[in-house]
Structure 1
Amino acid sequence: MKKRQSSESYKKNILEDPLMDQVHRMAYKTVSTGLNAGDGYGEVWIRDFNTFIQVAMDVMPDKNVQDCLNTFFHFQGAEGDIVDGYIDIRKADLNNVGGYKYRLSKTCPQFAAHKNTVETDHETSLIQAVYQYIRKSGNTDYLKSVVAGKTVEERMEWALRYLMEHKYNQEYGLITGATTAACLRM
């Protein structure tokens, strides 16, 4: 039986892997070309942005990073929910009956957004992205900036309230959500 590697030695092996430098360069190159998820995707997805926001902060102006965060808040739903992604409205197929049900915003008319109801990490991904932005930039004033009539801080609280009121399972103490497999069984 193979001995299990300790977390410290596992971490050391990853950090010393020569491919990590290549992965790092590739990540910076990819993010420097835009915030969408890559070739074939026009959308900016919140979970992806949360993953690479720190790289984005290294390769683009602060205003671009804030604009991306703010765009998700512009599309916040009436109950506080956060969309999964947004796309340039000129690239959105607004009339595709079987496609995304786009959400439009009077305060951000250049984009169309959508919420994938299968996933439940949009709200937490945006809050984590804001945390990473503030931690790296030191810009705590961002929380007081106003997006469509509410501060970022108020919008984050609203998103958490949405989760607690609409997605929280009292019995298990967990946020509930479907999976792709569950949707396929319906």
Structure 2
Amino acid sequence: MSRLVVLAGPTAVGKGTLLRAVLDRNPDIWVSVSATTRPARPGEQDGIHYHFVSDERFDELIEQDGLLEWATVHGKHRYGTPRAGVDEALQAGRPAVLEIDLDGVRQVKQTMPDALFVFVLPPSWEELVSRLEGRGTEDEAERMRRLATARDELMAIDEFDETVINDDLDTAVAELERLITQAR
């Protein structure tokens, strides 16, 4: 069995960018596709970017113990990790990664304490704000909500086994790749 790697960090820190770069170099790594109650953004596809589900279906998954973790993110929508895919990947010996929020990390620590918990840090607070504003996918109220959450997340850094600073992309990708492949 492989060791699960749990990746977290504040909004707009570049978790997805880093993970995509690692996957380009290591296509055997399995990454969980989260379920969410939020609507799809332009270009997102169900089953690829997320499993877009209704509130009722999400409730069923919780009741059936079908989620490894779940949380309400930014006080608005729920996200969760379907348990079956994680179990299958680990049992097959594949490197497996979850990209989740802090509440989800805390739940996984309860059910899978042997996982490797990795926190992605921005080079500075100012850079994090700039990256979030540069995405252009959230209105001002949503940006403020996400930045408030980011402050709380940054204060929880001691809950993680490893940190990766996303300052230089190549360096950060290499460090994340090393951590994931060593967890095999």
- Using the size of structure 2 for normalisation, the TM-score is 0.29
- Counting strand residues as a fraction of each chain, which structure ranks higher? 2
Structure with higher helix content: 1
Q: Which has the higher contact order (CA 8 A, sep 6+)?
A: 2
TM-score (norm 1): 0.29
Computing the radius of gyration from Cα coordinates, the structure with the larger value is 1
